[in-house]
Amino acid sequence: MNKIGFIGLGIMGKPMSKNLIKAGYSLVVMDRNQDAVAELVACGAQSAASAKQVAEQTDIIITMLPNSPQVREVVLGDGGIIEGARRGSVVVDMSSIAPLVSREVAQRLAERGVDMLDAPVSGGEPKAIDATLSVMVGGEKAVFDRCFDVMKAVAGSVVLTGATGAGNITKLANQIIVALNIAAMSEALVLAAKAGVEPELVFEAIRGGLAGSTVLNAKAPLVMDRKFDPGFRINLHIKDLANVLDTSHELGVPLPLTAAVMEMMQAIKADGLGDADHCSLVQHYEKMAKVEVRR
């Protein structure tokens, strides 16, 4: 079985790497957070001091990093993956970054004979923990097939959506829909609360109909219980929507609803809630309506 490299042991990366160990893979891990590294070593992983060292020891190197600059640095920078990766190895970038950066990084790796998949995930921390993430992949079919079992070890769904960059285009589409769903849910539940109707009863009444969604089922209970600990931070959703809007402007695609939700998320961040879960967007509506959505 291939030895896997894993770089980035944050909210998502740590449980994903643990699931790879549970699936029987040998892991070499790296992160700036040494506590996270120690936790993985205790689970059976080896540690490395640099991305180059990870790449020297592994056939498939997974990166799970915050944004485009970090992926560029870890893959292409000094001491980066590109300096240690062997010809024929594969970088699977499971970060959510700008599609054009994915293509740029893939091109640089290809010049060294190293393949790449852009394979961002959806599902947040709960699905990272129980290995039911959705993975959206861009790249060559043969490389996808080679890495499928590894990706499936952390996911419920792994779909090849096109050439390099297509994975991140799909993730941007996903993040539009999630953001707008959270905003719509927030508007609806705040309206119900202000009207004196129990939000929980509204939720139970509508969840089985056309308004029902995975987002509604996952986030409405958290809102009503006032649980805003991050499964997926407002700051990270702002990052994704910035990539959405940058890409849409490059392509000449107006996205007025996405732009509106982005500004609401910026307002929530300005209120000091950037590290709260993205369902805390409801607090923007609550503040305007002077009501709270509670059970």
**Run of H or E residues at 65:** none
Q: Which of 119-128, 178-187, 231-240 has the highest mean pLDDT?
A: 178-187
Among residues 18, 171, 219, 269, the one annotated as catalytic is 171
Res 123 pLDDT > 90:
no
pTM: 0.89
Q: Do the Cβ atoms of 116 and 139 come closer than 8 Å?
A: yes
Res 280 pLDDT > 90:
yes
Which amino acid belongs to residue 145? D
Over residues 250-264, the pLDDT tens digits come to 999 999 999 999 999
Q: Do the Cβ atoms of 262 and 245 come closer than 8 Å?
A: yes
165 three-state secondary structure = coil
Clarify whether 194 is annotated catalytic.
no
* Mean pLDDT along residues 20-43: 97
Q: Please state, in angstroms and rounded to a whole number, the distance separating the CA atoms of residues 5 and 112.
A: 18
* Mean pLDDT along residues 235-259: 95
Over residues 135-172, the pLDDT tens digits come to 999 999 999 999 999 999 999 999 999 999 999 999 99
Angle, vertex CA 268, rays to CA 189 and CA 207, nearest 5: 25
61 three-state secondary structure = strand
- Which sequence spans correspond to the domains of the chain? 3-163, 169-289
Percentage of the chain modeled with pLDDT above 90: 96
Q: What is the pLDDT of residue 1?
A: 54
CATH code at 169-289: 1.10.1040.10
Which among 131, 64, 74 has a CA at the least distance from the CA of 94? 64
Q: What is the pLDDT of residue 157?
A: 97
Torsion of CA 260, 261, 265, 270, to 10 degrees: 20
CATH code at 3-163: 3.40.50.720
138 three-state secondary structure = strand
Q: What is the mean pLDDT of the chain?
A: 96
Q: What is the pLDDT of residue 278?
A: 97
Angle, vertex CA 17, rays to CA 163 and CA 238, nearest 5: 60
Q: Do the Cβ atoms of 237 and 179 come closer than 8 Å?
A: yes
Over residues 166-223, the pLDDT tens digits come to 999 999 999 999 999 999 999 999 999 999 999 999 999 999 999 999 999 999 999 9
